[in-house]
Structures are given as C-alpha cells and as structure tokens.
C-alpha cells in the first residue's frame, strides 16, 4: 500500500481529540470558542494536506507515514482511499465553519468540547475501512447529541430507540457476514441487516423521523454536524456495497429516491425553519444514495460529486439559518420575517447555497446533479424523472424559505443584525467554493469519476468490460479478465 509523506490522518484525528480535552478545562465559553477555532483550523490543514498528498500518489489507497496504529495493531487501521480522500477535508471544514459561525449569543448552550470530540470521531470514521471499527466509531458518534439533549432536559427516548436499533442492526449484520462474502456471493440476511442499519442512519423513509426529532431537541449546530457528513452513506459504501448484489443496490436506490421526493414534498409544508432544513437535507442526502446504488460509473460519479456539493451547499444553507436564528430565535415559516435589510449578506448566501444544493447552473451542484440524473436515466428512465421532480420541489421550497425569512415585511430592529467578521469569513469561503466549483467543474468531476471507476473495480463489479484507470486519471475500456480484486487493483494501480 502507498504511503503518505506525513502522518496526516493520525494528526487530523488526534488534534481535535486533544482539543476536546483542552477545551473541556476552559471555563470561559468565549475562550473555548477561540481555542476550538484554532484546533479546527489545524485539523482542516491536516485533512487538506492528506488530500493533496494522496492526490500526488496516484494510488487507490494509502496509509500514514510513521503509522503508529499500524505498528501497534499490525493492521492498517487508518487508510485513505479515492472515496474518503476529499471527504476528510469536507468533514473538517464542516466543523470549522460551524464553530467559526457560532455567535456569542449561542456559546453558552453549544458545547465546544463535545464538538471537537465529534470531529475527531468523524475524521477517524472517514479514515477507517475496517467494518467493526466503523461500526464502533459510528456508535460512539451517537453519544454527544444524546448527552446534549439530556443536558437540555429533552426527551431522548425516540432518539435512543432509533440509534439503539441502528447499532443493533449493524452489529448483528456484521456478525453474520461470513469470510469471503462478495457481491457475487452475497450473504442475504447480513446484507439486509447492514442495509437496514445504514439506511436508518441515513434517515431513509419511513425511518427518518429521528432526524426531525433531533433537529427539534438538540442545538442547531449539533444536529447539523451529526447529519451533514452523511456517515450513513459512508457506511453503505464501506459495509454494504462490497457484499450486496446489483438488484439489492437498485432497490435501495428506489427506496432512497422515494425518500428524496417525499422529503422534498414535506419541506414545502413545514411550519418551522429547522424542520424545513431537515427535510431539504434529507431529500438531498437521499439523492446521494440514489446515485451510489446505481452501480454505473456515471451515476456513482454523480453521487460522489453531489456528496461534496450537498455537503458544502447545505452546510452554508444550514449555517445561514443558524445565524439568523442566533439573531431572532427559532424561525416560524408561517409568517414573513423581512430580515433582508438587516442581513443582506446572509440573505445572499442563503439564496446562493440553496440554489447550489438544487444544482442551479454556475454553482457547484450543477454538474453533479447532471451526472446523477444522466446516470439514473441509464438504469431506469423513470428514476431520472423522479430525480428531476425532487430537484424541482426542492427548488420551490428553497426560494419559499428565502422569501419567508428575508422578505414580505419590514423588520424593525433597534440593534445591528449585520454579519460579524467570523461570519463574513465563512460566507466568503463558502461562496468561493460554491462558485469556483460551479464555474470550473472539470477537475472535480474528473476526480470523482476516477474515484467511481476505481471503486467499482474494487468491488469487482464490472460485467462485460472493465474500466482501466491510468495514473493521469484517464479511464478506458478494456476487455474483461477474470481476476481477483487484489489482482485487478494491482493491474490497474501499479503503485
């Protein structure tokens, strides 16, 4: 296996973990916020370093230089590959932006220590390919939101019920996976249990209500950070994709598609901003799953693109709502709020991120959505139509929310509600990413297609022909040869 030039992965996981301990001892919330920003910046730098380093290796997977965990356990615990390489910086950025935009009105109720702990767990999950370790980490990740809800004296029964079921399904499913299981020799019961667990964590209908419950009861920041990294989709890719047959994956895609349309419709009838955001997010994250399960290079590449674009755009969308909430309290969507004159930059970002999430031309979501629809149409033409329908409903919902929050009346404020410097920085970064990725999409699309082809080859899923990926990231069609996964990878990736 290739080796990174520095221990990026271990550093990315350790820095926020150390930070969480450090911050826990600080008494001042304001100081804790400032220190948390520093730890988050360092973690992001390590994650970006990992991505850049990995991309120079032209390899399918790589592990750390001076890998302490590998030398201790004699296994490659932390490994980065084509799938997870960009997800790590995305995850680190999610946390940095959330901490950065936490205003002083909210610092008392937002736990920076637990946030850094969650970041460490997330980055470890995304760096991990061992099934049991992934399940363990995802189980641990359910704890901080639980503690926060308990601390806020909210009922946690519904959340515990679902997360307990999720952990039980994953553990039972993984325990039943026999050695040598593959897509050609699928363990049906184990696959069903793992699929059910991962779909529950992804919030697929009818197992999605825990997500709206979480947004009701936890702080917006915690709920946002628990769902936006889409670890459920990651679990599907790591635990289900390698052992599930094509027909099962396509059924998952159809269930996800139903969720996407259903959630888009539900977003239109919501009375409150957080629930609205939750459904919009659910609709988009289900679209990612649709593409992931299409088992075509184009659909998979579209899903990987949408994964990144939705992560960035809905992060911005959620953070904007959170910033508005920090100024006005929970937002009802039954009435107009007219905040435009007081928060013009936030209004602009709200619209921009919302439009990016629906794949508006010129934004980061456009090409991903096109690829996804194109890939879906290849498998089932009607699926492509449903994706367009979901995008249409989401578009209507996003602009409806914009009008409700920022227009329709004139808000009278006696204090300044304008953006703070930290918010401005976050807005600028997100805008550059959204417009930059939209106006110059080729590198992102090519990289995700390359990853999609490599993942499909890794799964050993090519049928009549296989894609050969060369070092420059170009792919070509070659006659199929009956090789093992290792042999295939060795052949296509000489590193």
Partner 1 sequence: MNINTVYQILGLIVVASPAVLLAVLGLPALLGKPLTESAQGHFTRAAVLSGLVAALVVLGMMLTFDSRHVSIELGNWVEIEPEHFHFHMKFVFDRLSVPFAILSFVLCGTVGAFASNYLHRESGYQRFFLLYAVFLLGMVVSSLAGTIETLFFGWELVGLSSALLVAFFHERPGPVRNGHRIWSVYRVADAAFLIAALTLHHLTGAGDFDGLMGTGPWPEGVAAIDSRHALIVGLLLLVAAAGKSGMVPFSGWLPRAMEGPTPSSAVFYGALSVHLGTYLLLRVSPMLEVSLPLSIAVVALGLVSAVCGTLASRVQSDVKNALAFSSLTQVGIITVEIGLGFRYLALIHMIGHACLRTLQLLRSPSVLKDFQLLENAVGEHLTASPGFWNSLLSRRHLDFLYRFSLERGYLDSLLNEYVVRPFVAVFRWCDRQERRWTGFAGGGESRESDRIAVYGDSLEDVL
Residues numbered 449-488 forming contacts with partner 1, rule: CB under 8 A: 449, 453, 467, 474-477
Q: How far apart are CA 115 and CA 36, in angstroms?
A: 9
Residue closer to partner 1 (CB basis): 189 or 361: 361
Is 217 a binding residue for partner 1 by CB under 8 A? The answer is yes
Query: Closest approach of Cβ 136 to partner 1, in Å?
Result: 26
Is 395 a binding residue for partner 1 by CB under 8 A? The answer is yes
Residue closer to partner 1 (CB basis): 14 or 373: 373
Is 274 a binding residue for partner 1 by CB under 8 A? The answer is yes
Is 30 a binding residue for partner 1 by CB under 8 A? The answer is no
Site for partner 1 in 319-348 (CB under 8 A): 326-332, 335-338, 340-341, 345, 348
Question: How many residues make up the chain in this entry?
Answer: 495
Is 107 a binding residue for partner 1 by CB under 8 A? The answer is no
Query: Closest approach of Cβ 421 to partner 1, in Å?
Result: 11
Is 270 a binding residue for partner 1 by CB under 8 A? The answer is yes
| Binding test (CB under 8 A) with partner 1, winner from 392, 470, 487, 494 | 392
- Nearest to residue 229, comparing CAs of 383, 321, 91? 91
Is 188 a binding residue for partner 1 by CB under 8 A? The answer is no
Query: Closest approach of Cβ 337 to partner 1, in Å?
Result: 7
- Span interacting with partner 1, options 218-226, 227-235, 244-252, 361-369, rule CB under 8 A: 361-369
Residue closer to partner 1 (CB basis): 38 or 161: 161
Is 266 a binding residue for partner 1 by CB under 8 A? The answer is yes
- Nearest to residue 201, comparing CAs of 241, 164, 174? 164
Is 45 a binding residue for partner 1 by CB under 8 A? The answer is no
Query: Closest approach of Cβ 384 to partner 1, in Å?
Result: 6
Q: How far apart are CA 328 and CA 333, in angstroms?
A: 13
Is 269 a binding residue for partner 1 by CB under 8 A? The answer is yes
Q: How far is CA 150 from CA 47, 146, 159, 214, 274, in A?
A: 32, 6, 11, 12, 20
116 with 39: CB under 8 angstroms? yes
| Binding test (CB under 8 A) with partner 1, winner from 107, 408, 429, 495 | 408
Is 96 a binding residue for partner 1 by CB under 8 A? The answer is no
Is 12 a binding residue for partner 1 by CB under 8 A? The answer is no
- Span interacting with partner 1, options 55-63, 65-73, 311-319, 411-419, rule CB under 8 A: 411-419
Specify the residue for token string 């209507």: 396
- Span interacting with partner 1, options 113-121, 128-136, 154-162, 246-254, rule CB under 8 A: 154-162
327 with 411: CB under 8 angstroms? no
By the 10 Å C-beta count (0-12 exposed, 13-18 middle, 19+ buried), 269 is classed as exposed
Is 148 a binding residue for partner 1 by CB under 8 A? The answer is no
Please compute Rg for the chain using Cα positions: 22
Output the DSSP codes for 227-252.
HTT-HHHHHIIIIITTT--HHHHHHH
Total residues contacting partner 1 by CB under 8 A comes to 83
Q: How far apart are CA 139 and CA 171, in angstroms?
A: 10
Three-class SS of residue 125? helix
Is 355 a binding residue for partner 1 by CB under 8 A? The answer is yes
Is 149 a binding residue for partner 1 by CB under 8 A? The answer is no
Q: How far apart are CA 128 and CA 64, in angstroms?
A: 12
Residue closer to partner 1 (CB basis): 75 or 330: 330
By the 10 Å C-beta count (0-12 exposed, 13-18 middle, 19+ buried), 381 is classed as exposed
Q: Phi, psi (5° rounding) for residue 477? A: -95, 130
Q: How far apart are CA 239 and CA 242, in angstroms?
A: 6
Query: Closest approach of Cβ 265 to partner 1, in Å?
Result: 5
Specify the residue for token string 């641990």: 140
Other residues' Cβ atoms within 10 Å of the Cβ of residue 81: 19
């Amino acid at each position: 296996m290739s080796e990174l030039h520095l221990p990026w992965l271990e550093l990315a996981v350790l820095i926020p973990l150390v930070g969480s301990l450090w911050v826990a001892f600080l008494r001042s919330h304001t100081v804790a916020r400032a220190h948390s920003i520093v730890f988050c910046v360092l973690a992001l730098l390590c994650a970006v370093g990992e991505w850049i380093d990995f991309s120079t290796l032209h390899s399918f997977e790589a592990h750390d230089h001076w890998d302490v965990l590998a030398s201790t356990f004699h296994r490659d615990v932390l490994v980065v590959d084509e799938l997870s390489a960009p997800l790590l910086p995305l995850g680190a950025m999610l946390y940095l932006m959330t901490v950065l935009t936490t205003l002083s009105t909210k610092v008392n109720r937002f736990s920076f220590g637990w946030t850094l702990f969650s970041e460490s767990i997330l980055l470890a999950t995304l760096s991990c390919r061992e099934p049991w370790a992934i399940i363990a980490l995802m189980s641990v990740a359910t704890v901080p939101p639980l503690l926060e809800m308990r601390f806020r004296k909210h009922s946690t029964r519904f959340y515990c019920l679902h997360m307990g079921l999720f952990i039980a399904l994953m553990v039972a499913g993984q325990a039943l996976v026999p050695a040598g299981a593959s897509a050609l020799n699928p363990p049906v019961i184990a696959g069903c249990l793992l699929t059910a667990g991962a779909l529950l964590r992804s919030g697929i209908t009818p197992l999605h209500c825990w997500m709206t419950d979480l947004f009701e009861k936890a702080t917006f920041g915690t709920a946002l950070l628990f769902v936006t990294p889409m670890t459920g989709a990651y679990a599907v890719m790591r635990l289900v994709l390698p052992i599930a047959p094509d027909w099962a994956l396509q059924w998952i895609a159809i269930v996800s598609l139903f969720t996407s349309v259903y959630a888009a419709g539900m977003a239109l009838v919501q009375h409150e901003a957080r629930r609205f955001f939750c459904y919009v997010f659910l609709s988009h994250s289900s679209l990612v799953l649709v593409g992931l399960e299409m088992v075509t290079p184009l659909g998979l590449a579209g899903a990987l693109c949408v994964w990144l674009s939705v992560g960035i755009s809905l992060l911005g969308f959620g953070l904007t709502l959170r910033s508005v909430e920090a100024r006005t309290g929970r937002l009802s969507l039954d009435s107009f709020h007219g905040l435009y004159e007081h928060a013009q930059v936030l209004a602009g970002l709200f619209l921009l991120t919302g439009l990016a999430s629906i794949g508006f031309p010129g934004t980061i979501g456009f090409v991903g959505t096109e690829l996804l629809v194109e890939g879906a149409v290849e498998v089932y033409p009607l699926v492509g139509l449903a994706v367009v329908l979901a995008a249409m409903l989401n578009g209507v919902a996003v602009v409806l929310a914009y009008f409700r929050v920022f227009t329709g009346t004139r808000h009278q404020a006696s204090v300044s509600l304008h953006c703070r410097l930290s918010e401005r920085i976050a807005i600028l970064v997100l805008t550059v990413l959204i417009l930059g990725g939209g106006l110059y999409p080729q590198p992102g699309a090519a990289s995700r297609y390359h990853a999609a082809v490599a993942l499909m080859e890794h799964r050993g899923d090519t049928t009549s022909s296989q894609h050969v990926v060369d070092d420059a990231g170009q792919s070509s069609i070659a006659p199929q040869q009956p090789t093992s996964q290792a042999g295939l990878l060795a052949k296509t990736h000489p590193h």
